[in-house]
Amino acid sequence: MTSRIVILGGGTGGTLTANRLRRLYSTEDAEIIVVDQDDRHVYQPGLLFVPFGLTHSEDIVRPRERQLHDGVGFVESGIDHVDIDANQVHLTTGATLGYDVLVVATGARLVPEETEGLTGPGWMEKVFTFYTPEGSRHPRRRAGLVRPGTSRGERGRHADQVPCRPARVLLPG
């Protein structure tokens, strides 16, 4: 009998969970479906490298399905509500997904407006967030590290193009 596992959230947590479950269970044992409101997976740790020109935001944003292993389904929709008693997820599209196992991996939501004074005058002009591709690009421009309209090749190096010396490895004996 095939169990249906529905994972709410296609970010890092939901994607890792889906891919690891797919390795554990065959398609005969489990149907795995990831639900997310958009098809834009942002590798957030990479955003820290954008202001320094070590990567570019377009290089760390991929379609969600590209991150999921074969045999993992993807549904692009918002979530209206979950009916725990009926084991059903109601989507904003009007569709309903039944489940045997539900994983909630919806991640964090930034609420900078809850920090007094943060989103006031200067927000996204002098005060930036590194948690979105849009916000991570602004500090470089503000600091004069990149000129608006320059080509990608002129903006800086990718992380794998930064010159460095090989590390020395010391082995016992």
Q: Which residue's structure tokens are 């991996």?
A: 105
Q: Which residue's structure tokens are 């309209």?
A: 149
**pLDDT value, residue 154:** 45
Where exactly are the structural domains of the chain?
Answer: 3-110
Contact yes or no for 132/47 (Cβ under 8 A): yes
Number of neighbours of residue 76 by Cβ within 10 angstroms: 17
**pLDDT value, residue 149:** 47
Could you name the CATH architecture of 3-110? Answer: 3-Layer(bba) Sandwich (3.50)
**pLDDT value, residue 138:** 63
**How far from 87 is each of 3, 26, 46, 81, 92, CA to CA, in Å?**
12, 22, 36, 11, 17
Contact yes or no for 137/145 (Cβ under 8 A): no
Paired sense of beta strands 72-76 and 30-36, if any? parallel
Q: What is the pLDDT along the chain (173 residues), one digit of tens a residue?
A: 789 999 999 988 999 999 999 999 999 999 999 999 999 888 888 888 887 788 888 888 888 888 999 999 999 999 999 999 999 999 999 999 999 999 999 987 778 788 777 787 877 777 777 667 777 766 555 555 444 444 444 444 444 444 444 445 455 54
Three-state secondary-structure class, residue 172: coil
The pTM (predicted TM-score) of the whole model is: 0.69
